[in-house]
Amino acid sequence: MDTLGRSAQVALDINDVFLPESPTKSFNVWRKWNRLSRLQKSMLYMLLTICSIIFLYHMNVYNKHPNIQRTIKTEPKHDWPPKFGQKLEEKEVENPKFGVVNDNQNVAMEEEGADDDEDEDEDEDGGDSNHAEEETVEEHDDKPGEEKQEENKLPPKDGSIKFNGPQNDRQRAVVSAFQHAWQGYRRYAWGRDHLKPISKTHQTWFDLGLTLIDSLDTMLVMGLKEQYVEARVWVEDNLKFTTDKDVNLFETTIRVLGGLLSTYHLSQDQIFLDKAVDLADRLMGAFDSSSGVPYSDVNLRTGVGHSPKWSPDSSTSEVTTIQLEFRDLSRITGNSKYEDAVSRVSELVHGLDKNQGLVPIFINANSGQFRTYSTITMGARGDSYYEYLLKQWLQTGKSIEYLKKDYNESMFGVMNKMVRRTVPNNLVFLGEILSGGKDFKPKMDELACFLPGTLALGFRNGMPQSHMDLAQDLAYTCYLTFARQPTFLAPEITYYNTAEGSTKDFYAKPNDAHYLLRPETIESLWYLYYMTGNKTYQDWGWKIFQGIEIYTKVSGGYTTISNVRNPLDTRPKDMMESFFLGETLKYLYLLFADKHEIDLDKWVFNTEAHLLPLYPH
Residue closer to ligand DMJ (CB basis): 451 or 463: 451
Question: Cβ of residue 589: shortest distance to ligand DMJ, in angstroms?
Answer: 16
Query: CA distances (Å), 147 to each of 79, 101, 227, 369, 447, in order?
Result: 23, 44, 14, 53, 41
Question: Cβ of residue 110: shortest distance to ligand DMJ, in angstroms?
Answer: 30
150 assigned to active site = no
CB distance 588 to 173 below 8 Å: no
Assess 258 for contact with ligand DMJ (CB under 6 A). Answer: no
Choosing from 383, 445, 512, 577, which is the catalytic residue? 383
Question: Cβ of residue 250: shortest distance to ligand DMJ, in angstroms?
Answer: 8
CB distance 348 to 293 below 8 Å: yes
Choosing from 325, 406, 505, 520, which is the catalytic residue? 520
How buried is 198 (Cβ within 10 angstroms: 0-12 exposed, 13-18 middle, 19+ buried)? middle
How buried is 502 (Cβ within 10 angstroms: 0-12 exposed, 13-18 middle, 19+ buried)? middle
Choosing from 125, 246, 251, 597, which is the catalytic residue? 251
Choose among 533, 556, 440, 500: nearest CA to 197: 556
CB distance 84 to 153 below 8 Å: yes
Assess 269 for contact with ligand DMJ (CB under 6 A). Answer: no
383 assigned to active site = yes
Burial 140-162 (b: 16+ CB within 10 A, else e): eeeebbeebbeeeebebeebebb
Q: Residues in contact with ligand DMJ, total (CB under 6 A)?
A: 9
Question: Cβ of residue 60: shortest distance to ligand DMJ, in angstroms?
Answer: 33
Choose among 307, 306, 242, 308: nearest CA to 279: 242
Scan residues 462-521 and list those touching ligand DMJ (CB under 6 A).
518-519
Choose, by CB under 6 A, the member of 286, 607, 610, 611 that binds ligand DMJ: 607
Assess 126 for contact with ligand DMJ (CB under 6 A). Answer: yes
Question: Cβ of residue 617: shortest distance to ligand DMJ, in angstroms?
Answer: 26
Residue closer to ligand DMJ (CB basis): 297 or 583: 583
Scan residues 298-327 and list those touching ligand DMJ (CB under 6 A).
none
Question: Cβ of residue 384: shortest distance to ligand DMJ, in angstroms?
Answer: 5
Assess 579 for contact with ligand DMJ (CB under 6 A). Answer: yes
Choose among 245, 378, 248, 385: nearest CA to 311: 248
Residue closer to ligand DMJ (CB basis): 248 or 472: 248
Scan residues 433-462 and list those touching ligand DMJ (CB under 6 A).
447
Choosing from 125, 492, 597, 608, which is the catalytic residue? 492
Choose, by CB under 6 A, the member of 384, 472, 497, 559 that binds ligand DMJ: 384
Choose, by CB under 6 A, the member of 361, 608, 610, 612 that binds ligand DMJ: 608
For residue 246, the surrounding DSSP H or E stretch is: strand 246-248
In the chain, the largest separation of any two C-alpha atoms, in whole Å, equals 93
Q: Phi-psi region for residue 574, left (φ > 0), alpha (ψ -120 to 50) or beta?
A: left
Question: Cβ of residue 164: shortest distance to ligand DMJ, in angstroms?
Answer: 27
251 assigned to active site = yes
CA distance 182 to 265: 23
Residue closer to ligand DMJ (CB basis): 144 or 557: 557
492 assigned to active site = yes
Binding stretches for ligand DMJ (CB under 6 A)? 126, 384, 447, 518-519, 579, 583, 607-608
| Residues identified as active-site | 251, 383, 492, 520
